Amino acid sequence: MDTTLLQHFVAVAEELHFSRAAKTLGISRQALSKSIKALESELGIEIFDRSVDTTVLTDDGRLAYERAVEQLAAVADEENGAEEIVEPTSSLSIAFVPGVTLGKWTLAWEKRHPDTALRFVPGSEQDSVRVLRDGVADLSFVRLPIEQRGLSVIRLYTETTVIVVPQDHPIAAVESVTLADLADETVIENPELVADSVELAAAGVHLVQVPQSIARLHARKDVVWRPITDAETTDIAIAWNEDEFTVLMDEFVGIVRGRTEASTRTAVATAARAALKSPAKEAKMKAAALRAASGKTKGGAGKSAAGKNSTVGRIAAAKGKAKAPGKAKRRGSR
């Protein structure tokens, strides 16, 4: 299967927005749509639900996305293996938790370092630190909090917490809610099997509280999500073993943090890779890279702004218009 089509599909599946995905890929919106239609024709399925206004994966599309990620990773491994037969090359292994999209960073990396392959290790939040300690990944995008012993961690951005509800639920009629608005609901917080929990939410069994990126990843036409203005937010960070930081890792971290190709640090790091041929200079460069990466990020997006007033009244009004919502269940504790 054409890997370009798979790359285009993965970009749209992660962004859930054709224009943003096209910008990330550096192609036109029309060319991207043509790629998706070609892939759907080749697979014989509909990847995206065209009956709704927003970009949403179908059930077949979600399965296709998982397979596409696996196939692209396998292709990358094969290409790396073929290159190593001719000439050994360096690589970086990047782990990431669900909800983290890597497209814009990996594209920037490929432009700056075409001879250094990136290998991806998708996994659960529970595995995000283990892959570092076991040497499976060089860098890992994690969702805080984590056990930080022996790790260097840089916070990147903050995620809003949302509540996933059936499309006909009264909460769907308002723009945001508070925790008080959910007091009489059965809410499952950060379930391990998100897809199954969202399926039950669509059936009206319970509501699901997750970071917004997770809700976007599991978007479907029969559920919606709304921000919880006073819920705790979560932070996404990049982490690595503190005694194993290399110049290449510093380069990738710099791209993630917005360092431009023309920056002094990038130029210095590029020259430093040649110096790493000398073991004595390698130790000095690692120490310098560690000092350079020790600064704190300026911070990501802030928490969602609270509404002007409590939404309890708005939800109560919406309930009067809802179709026989039934008796609400008391919110359970976890």
286 and 175 share one domain: no
Asked if 64 and 19 sit in the same domain, the reply is yes
Do 68 and 208 reside in the same domain of the chain? no
Distance CA 212, CA 38 (A): 30
pLDDT at 195: 92
Is 275 inside any structural domain?
A: yes
CA–CA gap between residue 148 and residue 70 (Å, rounded): 29
What is the pTM (predicted TM-score) of this model? 0.56
Domain boundary among the residues 87, 112, 136 is at 87
Distance, CA of 128 to CA of 139 (rounded, Å): 9
| 32 vs 38: CA distance, rounded Å | 10
pLDDT of residue 94: 95
**334 in any annotated domain:** no
Q: 271-310, pLDDT tens digit by residue? A: 444 444 444 444 445 455 555 544 443 344 333 334 444 5
Per-residue pLDDT reduced to its tens digit, 127-140: 999 999 989 999 99
Is residue 330 one of the residues assigned to a domain? no
Percent share of the chain, pLDDT over 90: 41
Do 257 and 274 lie in a common domain? yes
Q: What are 39's two structure tokens?
A: 């892939």
pLDDT of residue 59: 86
Q: Which of 60, 87, 114 is the last residue of a domain?
A: 87
Are residues 71 and 7 located together in one domain of the fold? yes
Structurally, how many domains does the chain consist of?
3
**Structural domain of 43:** 1-87
pLDDT (0 to 100) of residue 275 = 43
Within this chain, do residues 154 and 188 fall inside the same structural domain, yes or no? no
315 and 290 both lie in a single domain: no
The per-residue pLDDT for 230 is 96
Residues 146 and 46 in one domain: no
The per-residue pLDDT for 325 is 45
Rounded to the nearest integer, the mean pLDDT of the chain is 79
Residue with structure tokens 């008796």?
A: 327
**Of 87, 120, 141, at which residue does a domain stop?**
87
Q: 245 near 293, Cβ under 8 Å? A: yes
Please check whether residues 40 and 1 belong to one and the same domain: yes
Q: Is 193 in the same domain as 125? A: no
Strands 234-241 and 139-143 come out as: antiparallel
The pLDDT of 48-61, averaged and rounded, is: 83
Q: Do 46 and 168 sit in the same domain of this protein?
A: no
Q: CB neighbours (10 Å) of residue 58? A: 18
Residues 193, 138 share a domain = no
Within-domain flag for 103: yes
Sheet with 139-143: strands ordered across: 117-122, 91-96, 139-143, 234-241, 151-159
